[in-house]
Amino acid sequence: MGELFVSASVEAHTFERFADWCNHQEELTPDAQHTIDVLLEEVGTENCEDADKALHSLTDLALVRKEIENVAPIGALSNLEDLNLSGNQVEDIQPLSSLQNLQYLSLTHNLVQDYTPLEKLLKLEELFLVGNNIQDLSFLRYLTDLKSLVLSNNNIEDVSVLSYLQNLETLWLEANNIEDISSLRNLVNLKILALYENKVKDITALSSLTNLEKLFLNSNAIENIDSLESLELLKTLALGDNLIKSINSIRFLETLGILSLSKNQIEDISFLSNLPALQVLELHNNRISDISPLSTLANLKVVTVFDNPIQDQICPVQPESICLFEMPESWNQGQ
């Protein structure tokens, strides 16, 4: 009973130096001990004072898949600027709130429930939180220095708080439950936006994002894409697996090099003839009967046209191997 009391009381104290954590290691819980062992291994010494000096000088630290549960000892490393804790079992990130020099943080694939401690990390520029079952994004409100934010594979529905993050250049939101993206209209510095595998229907808000270079909207419920015609810097556009019938607005996107329109309801592709930069074009699983408009696309390297009612299976571009009239064997069945 006495040992349990001592252990609890020591761990309740937050040491400011790693050396103090290390010197009290035997009095700490096993998960804290494990984290200390990982850090000692990272700097290649078992001497607490030497480790403290080495760790204190670090600005970058990657502890990926190290079975870490307790990050309290890491909270003493106040000079850290880049911290990668992906693939661990971290639940409580309160100790990380002291790392106010952090510019890069990855907590991808952990068990965190409360993200409010991140509110204090005002210097963050890159934040990766993939696969963490996140629903509430309110903790992001004051992280206005963020340039790159990756929130893939969560349970997010409401993205309204993102309207405050106007320095964002890269935003990954794929595989969530997002339907309303109107709040993204203010993110005019975005260059990369990924929204695939959501529930998006209305994309009119995207018309103001004229700096976009890559846009991924596949696997949603989009019918109308007219609002994309203003995105004249787009080089990559993914619209596969939607409900699109008309693609006339795409004719303005002359810098497109990669375009995916597979698994839609498209019949007329004549507007694609105005896209001279196209190199990769996916048109499979549509209602296309005539692919002759592709004849003007001199830079095409591959175009998928299988699973369409094409009458004359003659490739309008050379070499004819560019046109794939059958699904390649190497493709997965789900593609």
Alpha helices in the chain (DSSP H): 2-12, 18-23, 30-43, 48-56
Chain centroid, CA 35 distance in Å? 27
Asked whether residue 11 carries a pLDDT value surpassing 60, the answer given is no
User: Mean pLDDT over all residues of the chain?
Assistant: 95
Kindly report the pTM of this predicted structure: 0.93
Task: State the average pLDDT over residues 41-52.
Answer: 97
**In the chain, % of residues over pLDDT 70:** 95
Task: State the average pLDDT over residues 130-155.
Answer: 98
Quickly tell me which residue has 């850290």 as its tokens: 80
Chain centroid, CA 27 distance in Å? 40
Task: State the average pLDDT over residues 8-35.
Answer: 84
Residues 6+ apart with CB under 8 A from 145: 122, 123, 124, 125, 167
Structural domains in the chain, CATH included, are 63-324 (3.80.10.10)
Model confidence at 13, in pLDDT bands (50, 70, 90)? low
Asked whether residue 294 carries a pLDDT value surpassing 70, the answer given is yes
**For residue range 192-202, what is the model confidence (pLDDT) as tens digits?**
999 999 999 99
**For residue range 112-142, what is the model confidence (pLDDT) as tens digits?**
999 999 999 999 999 999 999 999 999 999 9
Task: State the average pLDDT over residues 205-228.
Answer: 98
Give pLDDT, residue 333: 52
Whole-angstrom distance, CA of residue 45 vs CA of residue 211: 48
Task: State the average pLDDT over residues 173-185.
Answer: 98
